[in-house]
Chains A and B, each alone.
Chain A
Amino acid sequence: MSNNPLLEPIHGISLEDYSAACAKLGSGLSEEAIAKVLGVELPVWQEANLLWPERMKQDQTYEIMTLFGQYFAQAGQHPKFSNAVNGGAEDAGYTAQIKADKDFYQELEVARNVAYEYGLDGAQWIADKYGITLGDFQIAASKWNTQIHAEIQADFQEYTQKQDAYNAKYRQMFASAQGGNVADDITF
């Protein structure tokens, strides 16, 4: 267990609580609901919500940030929040898939970025098309990032080939939906 004093709970709200709360905020839970689940009143939650990022800024070891990412990815297992959303129902459909299938996450991450390149709200596009909220998308990102980083180190070429293929697929898709790119008619 770390002795870092910056990890002490704020008004009884631990870093695990805070990380899970942030994940649930991203999934559409209101601040009032977050406060209720944590068993505090809104001003107490809002102050903790203000001070945890301050602790992260002060922490030169990045320990808080690292743990935040880990706890964020495990938000679904947090005892206080597990029954607060969807009545405790398990993730289903694409939301379950993005947390279980790394390739699916990587493909949608590219799709989201390409959507932004075509002037769309990429996060909203994912929510509309797949029903995956921003919070669940970020939970998947936290879950897969370390593994993806390790794979890049192991075989960069394979990683870029896969990314290029996803990029080509979604650029074509979004361009077609918008009647093509601005300079598609210019050829060598």
Chain B
Amino acid sequence: MEELLRQTQERWFVFLEKLEVRMGEMCNAAIPELKAIFKEDQDPYKRAHGRMLAGLLGQLRRMQDQANEVKEDKILGLIYSSGVFTSNDFREACFNRHYAFEKRCHDYTSLLREAAGQQDLEAFYQEQLASFALIKDQFTCKQCGGKIAISKMFFIATYVTCLYCQTQNTFMPSSGAQMVLHNARSLAEQRTAHLLKIYEERQPKDPALYQQYLRAMFDQWNQITPDMEEENEKFYLRLLKDNSINHL
């Protein structure tokens, strides 16, 4: 029995090590690709990057499945079949090795998820502001051809009235401007991430710090999309209320 346990443990260790080596090879080869795809992908939702990442994470999960199946069959199977004859050393060594393998999977998962970094929403927003500055005086009335100055950045189709003939025109924002609305909260969160970090790192949790973060985040959000301020503030009050309940 001792010899069987020794051999099984050795094979288990070798098996997991091989999986870890393969995992390392796959991730190390993929990370530069992930970064490049994220950078080059013109799709604002970065779907090509998302699909590649999902595929890699799927392969990591398959390796975890492989390890779990072998653990169930060969390690637990041996423990159950030999009953009291299995030493605690065998059990502990095999479980600890599997724990280390799982931790490695977790680390590689984080590495892949974080490889591309965050989308620079600030740069995108500034680009859209600059683009808007260029086109805001180029809109003309469909009826009389008079110039219509667009007073501010609109994010959805909006009626604008011609000052000369009072005709109602429809201003269609660019797809970039529409994305500003879509990204507004994320950009506000990026701008105030340092305040959230302070709240998250403080132990015990301090509700005042969360409120400070939330107010700052909504101030930024309102600054990016001023037309949404009224609605945003209603949402802010709801989050504040939810948060006070959670901190009771």
- B74/A188 in contact, CB under 8 A: yes
Does any Cβ of B come within 8 Å of A171's Cβ? yes
- A183/B22 in contact, CB under 8 A: yes
**Known contacts A43-B170, A51-B231, A119-B52; is A57 also within 8 Å of B62 by CB?**
no
Does any Cβ of B come within 8 Å of A91's Cβ? no
* Distance between B36 CB and nearest chain A CB, rounded to angstroms: 16
- B55/A43 in contact, CB under 8 A: no
Task: Provide the residues of chain A in CB contact with B156, threshold 8 Å.
Answer: 43, 46-47, 49-50
Task: Provide the residues of chain A in CB contact with B63, threshold 8 Å.
Answer: 182-183
* Distance between B243 CB and nearest chain A CB, rounded to angstroms: 12
**Residue among B62, B181, B234, B241 with the most chain A CB within 10 A?**
B62
* Distance between B233 CB and nearest chain A CB, rounded to angstroms: 10
* Distance between A78 CB and nearest chain B CB, rounded to angstroms: 23
Checking B18, B26, B51 against A116 with a beta-carbon cut-off of 8 angstroms, the contacting residue is: B51
Q: Is the interface of B mostly helix, strand, loop or mixed?
A: helix
What 0/1 readout, one digit per residue, does chain B (211-248) give for beta carbons within 8 Å of chain A?
00000000000000000100100110010011000000
Does any Cβ of B come within 8 Å of A54's Cβ? yes
Task: Provide the residues of chain B in CB contact with A120, threshold 8 Å.
Answer: 51, 55
Does any Cβ of B come within 8 Å of A187's Cβ? yes
- Which range holds the interface residue count of chain A? 20 to 34
- B58/A54 in contact, CB under 8 A: no
* Distance between A151 CB and nearest chain B CB, rounded to angstroms: 25
Does any Cβ of B come within 8 Å of A147's Cβ? no
- B238/A183 in contact, CB under 8 A: no
- B66/A183 in contact, CB under 8 A: yes
* Distance between A178 CB and nearest chain B CB, rounded to angstroms: 9
Task: Provide the residues of chain B in CB contact with A187, threshold 8 Å.
Answer: 15
Task: Provide the residues of chain A in CB contact with B238, threshold 8 Å.
Answer: 57-58, 60
Besides A50-B228, A188-B11, 8 more A-B contacts (Cβ < 8 Å) are: A42-B157, A42-B170, A43-B170, A119-B55, A119-B58, A120-B55, A121-B47, A188-B15
The 3 closest A-B pairs by CB, nearest first: A119-B55, A117-B58, A46-B156
11 example contacts (A-B, Cβ-Cβ < 8 A) are as follows A43-B156, A46-B156, A54-B231, A54-B235, A60-B238, A117-B54, A118-B55, A119-B54, A119-B56, A119-B58, A188-B74
Which residue numbers of A lie inside 8 Å of B, CB to CB? 41-43, 46-47, 49-51, 54, 57-58, 60, 116-121, 171, 175, 181-183, 186-188
Which residue numbers of B lie inside 8 Å of A, CB to CB? 11-12, 15, 18-19, 22-23, 26, 47, 51-52, 54-59, 61-63, 66, 70, 74, 156-159, 170, 181, 228, 231, 234-235, 238, 241-242
